[in-house]
Amino acid sequence: MLHPLYPDQVRKISGSFAFVEHRFLHDGFWADLDHDQLLLYFFLVLVSDRFGLSYYSYDKICTLLRLSVDDYIEARNTLIEKELIAFDGRLFQVLPLPEHPKLTINEPLKTDEQMEKNDPATVHQLIAKAFGKDHEDD
């Protein structure tokens, strides 16, 4: 039987209660999310009430998590697509875990739009051009 390292310092729950099922790690939900998605998901779990509800605004979330609005939107939309959260424009709800994670499937990039969004070299080139730098000068 395991015993606490510090028996006089065992955590007690005295207020709201946040939990994440072990399945989140063991069934592949963790591995399928990127850093921003994990950060937003765990934040929403932490701040939600017993029904999984949270009223935090996007600007407060971005400030607390140090996310840009673009990164927040991408993370939020991915969590919605993966059915981990619901959002009605003002209210978040952390949902029960689906039976299986909706895994991200990386498709080959074909269009300029896909390259501009997902190819690091193309993104770097666009940024360099925007600042008037020749990408070969780096």
Q: Which domains does the chain have, with CATH numbers?
A: 19-103 (1.10.10.10), 106-138 (no CATH)
Is residue 136 very low, low, confident or very high in pLDDT (cuts 50, 70, 90)?
low
Q: How far apart are CA 113 and CA 30, in angstroms?
A: 28
pTM of the model: 0.70
CB 45 within 8 A of CB 39: no
Q: Which two tokens stand for residue 35?
A: 């850093």
Q: How far apart are CA 131 and CA 125, in angstroms?
A: 10
The pLDDT of residue 127 is above 90: no
Q: How far apart are CA 77 and CA 86, in angstroms?
A: 9
Q: How far apart are CA 96 and CA 9, in angstroms?
A: 31
| pLDDT tens-digit series, residues 81-95 | 999 999 999 999 999
Name 51's Cβ contacts closer than 8 Å, sequence gap at least 6. 93
Residue 67: strand, helix, or coil:
coil
The pLDDT of residue 135 is above 70: no
Q: Which two tokens stand for residue 89?
A: 């424009």
The pLDDT of residue 108 is above 90: no
Q: Which two tokens stand for residue 99?
A: 């039976």
Is residue 114 very low, low, confident or very high in pLDDT (cuts 50, 70, 90)?
confident
Neighbours of 28 (CB within 10 A): 13
- Higher-scoring residue by pLDDT: 45, 109: 45
